A and B are shown apart, each in its own frame.
Chain A
Amino acid sequence: MEHEITLIVNGTAMRATVPARRLLSDCLRHDLGLTGTHVGCEHGVCGCCTVLLDGEPVRSCLTFAVTVDGHEITTVEGLAPEGGLSPVQRAFAECHGLQCGFCTPGFLCTVTAFLRDNPTPTDEEVLEGISGNLCRCTGYQNIVKAVHRAAELRAEEA
C-alpha cells in the first residue's frame, strides 16, 4: 500500500507517494532527487546518511519516510544558501576535512547541529560529537581541525 506524505525539505514542502517500508534516505534520494544525502551501511553505523530532522541530526537510513510525514528535514543541500557555503562547509574545505567526500554530507549535518548546541567545544567534545560518523580516507585529524575552525568562523560571523 502506498502512502501520500509531505516533507518540508530545506524549507520547501515536497510531496511523495511511498510504500511504508521506504527509508527516509531512499525517499530523499530517489523520490525527491536530492542525492546529496549519501547511503553507506544502511544499518546506522557509518553516519553518511545523517540529516537534520526538526533540527536534530538523525540517521535517515534508520527512519521511515512515513514516520516523519509533515516534519522538517534539512539535508546537505540546505545547509547554505544557493551557490554559497556555510561556515562548517568552508572550514572543511580550508582544513582538508574531506578527500573522497562520501562521508562528508553526514559529517556536515552532524557538525552543523553540534556547533549550534555547543559553539565552543573542547577536543574531547568534538570527538564525542563526531563519534557516530565514519571516514575511511581523509582521516579524523583534519576533520577535528575543521570542526574547531568552523567554530571560529561561526563566532566571527555572529
Chain B
Amino acid sequence: MKPPAFDYHAPGDLGEALRILAEVRGKVLAGGQSLIPMLNMRLVAPGHLVDINRLTSLATIDSTGAGVRVGALVRHSAAERSAAHPLLTRALKLVAHPVIRNRGTVVGSLVHADPAAELPAVLAVLGGSVRLARWDGGAETTRDVDAGEFFVGPMESAVQPDELAVSAYFPALGPRTGATFEEVARRHGDYALAGVCAVVTLDEDGGIAAARLACIGVGPTPVVMDVSEPAAVREAAVDRVRPDGDIHATAAYRRHLVGVLAERALRNAVREAEARGA
C-alpha cells in the first residue's frame, strides 16, 4: 500500500506548471483524495507527478449574477463554505466525508470523472464548462470545454496530457428555478449506487416550464435528460439509463433506484423553485 516511485514537480506558478506539463505530460496532483488512493493501491503508476498545490492563484471562487467560476485549487470544503451556488453546495455535502473535503478539490473531482461522482452531474445538469490551459511553445493558451463534451467515459475527461484544468464554471440558477440532488449509497459518504440531480424552472402560473436531470452511477458518464412529461419522469429515467451491475448492486436495482430518485428529485426541485420564488 505504498505509492510507486515517480518524478516530482512542484511548480510555483501557472506558467511553470504548463511548461512542465508540456514537457513531461505528467499526472496533475491537486487534493489527491482520488489519485493517492489509486497510487497506494498501485492502480496507476505515472512517471511524473505535477503538484499544483503551490499555485495559490487557482484557489479563488469568482461569483457573478451569471454563475460561479471555481479555481483548480479550491477545496470542496471552501466551495461548500462559500455557498456560492445552491446546487453545488447541496452536492458537496454528499461528497465523501468532511475530512476528505478539506483536501479534495472541485475541479479535481470533475477531471477524475468517476461515473458515480456527484460534481460531474452538477456541471452536466447546469450546462457548465471547464477551462483548460496549455503551453503552446511560446505562450499560454486556454480553451473552454462544455460539460457535454468534457466527460468522455468512466474516469476519462477531455483533458489532454499536456493540459491543466484551471477552473470550472457553474451557471447560476435562473428566476423561479429550484435544484436538488438525491442519491442512495450503502453508507453515508460512499459513492452512490445511483443518484439524480434535478433543475426545474416554473412558469408564471407555477407549472413546470423546464426540467432537466443528470443521473449518476447508471452509465459511463452522467446521463443528462430533459423532462418533457413530468408525470412520466420515472419511466423516462428507467428507459434512458444503461447501468451495470457490480458487487454493490445489480443493474436492475440501479435502474429501479434511478426511477424512484428521478421522481423524488423532480418533486423536491419543484418545492425548491416555489420556495425561491422569482
- Chain A positions within 8 Å of B, measured between CB atoms, are 1, 3, 19-21, 23, 26, 42-44, 47, 50, 53, 56-59, 61-64, 66-67, 110, 114, 128-129, 131-133
The 4 A-B pairs of least Cβ separation, nearest first, read: A132-B97, A20-B8, A43-B37, A42-B1
Q: Does B22 contact A (CB under 8 A)?
A: no
Give the shortest distance, in Å, between A123 (CB) and chain B (any CB). Answer: 14
Most chain B C-beta atoms within 10 Å of own C-beta, residue among A1, A56, A62: A62
Q: Is B100 an interface residue (CB 8 A)?
A: yes
Residues of B within 8 A of A20 (CB): 5-8, 49
15 contacts between A and B (CB under 8 A): A20-B5, A21-B39, A23-B40, A42-B2, A47-B97, A47-B99, A53-B103, A57-B102, A61-B36, A64-B29, A66-B8, A67-B51, A129-B98, A132-B97, A133-B99
Is residue B127 within 8 Å, beta carbon to beta carbon, of the partner chain? no
Alpha-carbon gap, A19 to B53, bound state (A)? 18
Contact B51 A64 (CB under 8 A): yes
DSSP majority for the A interface? mixed
Using known A-B contacts A3-B8, A21-B3, A21-B5, determine if residue A67 contacts B98 with beta carbons closer than 8 Å: no
Judging by beta carbons under 8 Å apart, are B1 and A43 in contact? Answer: yes
For the complex with contacts A26-B2, A56-B102, 14 further pairs of A-B residues with Cβ separation under 8 Å are A21-B2, A44-B33, A44-B100, A47-B99, A53-B103, A58-B103, A61-B36, A61-B40, A62-B103, A63-B36, A66-B51, A131-B98, A132-B98, A132-B100
Residues of A within 8 A of B39 (CB): 21
Q: Which residues of A contact B6 (CB under 8 A)?
A: 20-21
Are A43 and B40 in contact, CB atoms less than 8 angstroms apart? yes
Q: Is the CB of B37 within 8 A of A62?
A: yes
Q: Which of B181-210 contact A (CB under 8 A)?
A: 188-189
Say whether B24 faces chain A, with CB atoms less than 8 Å apart: no
Closest chain-A Cβ to B128's Cβ sits at a distance in Å of 27
| B104 to chain A: closest residue by CB | A62
Chain B's nearest CB lies how many Å from the CB of A65?
Answer: 11
Which residue on A lies nearest to B189, using beta carbons? A131
What mask results when residues 26 to 64 of chain B are scored 1 for a CB within 8 Å of chain A, else 0? 000100110011011100000001010100000000000
Beta-carbon contact of A110 and B99 below 8 Å: yes
B244 to chain A, nearest CB (A): 23
A128–B5 CB distance below 8 A: no
Do the beta carbons of A58 and B4 come within 8 Å of each other? Answer: no
Please, which residue of chain B has its CB at the minimum distance from the CB of A39?
B1
Is B10 in contact with chain A by the CB < 8 A criterion?
yes
